[in-house]
Amino acid sequence: MHKKNHSRITRNSRREKNKHNITKKIVLTSIAGLSLILICGGVYATYAIQHNPKQESQAEDISQYEHKEHALLEKIRTSQKHDELESTEQEKTDKNIQTLIYEPLTTEAIPQLPKINSELTTLIEAAHKESSKETPIKLVGHIKRIKVNEQLVGYQPILDTYTWNQEKNEWSEKTELGKQPAFVNQKTKQPLTLQDIFISEANALAVQQVIEQKLLSESPDGNAIIDGILNMPSISLAETAFTYYSDKISLTLAENSSGKTEITLPYKEIAGYVDPQFIDTASIKDVVPEPLDPNKKYISLTFDDGPNPDTTPRLLDILKEKGVTATFFMLGQNVVKHEALVKRVAEEGHEVASHSYSHPQLTSVDAQRVTEEVQNTDKAIYHAIGKLPTDFRPPYGAVNKEVATIIGKPIIQWSVDSQDWQSHNAEAIIKRIDETAYNDTIILMHDIHPETVDAVSTVIDHLRNDGYEILPSKELLGKKAKPLHMYYGSKDERPVQ
């Protein structure tokens, strides 16, 4: 009995041991399998992570951005390093916006620098407000040096904005300029002034004439506004605001009947009245008249006091036949009576100029009377031909500084007096001119006298036989005559005292 029990216990023990061994094998096998799964899964996960197209693209994008950002900054800094205007860099980063400001080292060369910096700051602040905070942006503020010529240099604030384009993986660029460059006279080291450009009050008055004509020409009805235009204050060298360009200039106007507050004049329209040191000379290259040939003889025929319906038409016929152009200094009171005749004078290529309205001695009347004599003639001639007269001959040649300032036009005197007003004799007129004519001079005659007209054909023939080329006075003077100056010939210019 005892033996049986022992045998049964032994079998049970073996059975339990076998079960334990089987369980152990199962566990070990499971652990091994799980480990293999984990290892394989890790390998696969690592492979998947390393070879995920989306993540690969993102990583590549980051790499391209960093590379192109570095290249852009290198380009910006290299450009500034080689710029004519030496500067120092100030850098600031606000989230995705990096701002680089380049400040000039030689600040004393730019007297307007505080104003330029203020404008640059405004550009940068506006760009900050308009920019997306999610997109990388580079703001580069700097000052560009603009060399017009040796005498004039400009400085302009510039803002370059570089924005990262995620889709194209590249930087886009936009440039904003300050309103206007600030120009500096290199001789004085001071801001450019109208005095620099126009040189003198005389030239400023000449420019005023151009302004008046331009305002009238651009008006749908010049006659309706002419009084206001002729009475508008003249530009001031010290006070008139202006915007400079290398080929033109914009001037602020006083209140006037045209309603315009600013006018822009290409230098080619005022070529004789600007200092070429301060402009692009190419802008006036084709309009500056060639100087008279020093090897030739020149003379000008001028006629006062007309037009006269009995004598002026016959004179015009003679001049046309001879191929001569002349200058007619007309009285306003005759212009209003004979507008068609004035128009013919202009259409046939002669210069229509002013000789006052009623022929008083201007130095013996008050300023108001002088103004009326000048303006009434201006209006009469404008009404007849659509243009204001640009030259003036004072009755009796009488003029002083005050009168000349009111007139506001070049004063065209004479150097050869035919004395036709005294002799009233054709032969005497011819003889007088033959004996007194000389090179580069202006001859005084009157187209209201029949005897003068009788003499003209012979006068022209004699002058040509003596080698003279006959020109209107404006051409003789090179189209550069200016107010406050008197002209007796192309080589005899005198300031009015």
Active site residues per annotation: 304, 446
Category of 285 on φ-ψ map: left (φ > 0), alpha (ψ -120 to 50) or beta: alpha
Least Cα distance to 301 among 329, 275, 321, 337 occurs for 329
Q: Which tokens sit at 188?
A: 């004085």
Let me know: does 148 contact 278? Beta carbons within 8 Å. Answer: yes
Backbone φ and ψ of 348, nearest 5°: -90, 10
DSSP state of 438: -
- Closest Cα partner for 330 from 278, 380, 260, 272? 380
CA nearest 415: which of 495, 487, 325, 497?
Answer: 487
Q: Give the whole-angstrom CA distance, residue 229 versus residue 388.
A: 11
Task: Identify the sign of the CA torsion 461, 463, 467, 471.
Answer: negative
Q: What share of the chain is helix, strand, coil (3-state, %, to 5)?
A: 45, 20, 30
- Can you point out the beta strands (E) in 334-384? 351-354
Distance CA 375, CA 356 (A): 9
E strands in 30-151: 87-94, 97-104, 137-149
Give me the amino acid identity at 426.
A
- 362: phi then psi, degrees, rounded to nearest 5: -65, -25
**d(Cα 303, Cα 325) in Å, to the nearest integer?**
11
Q: How many CB atoms lie within 10 A of CB 190?
A: 12
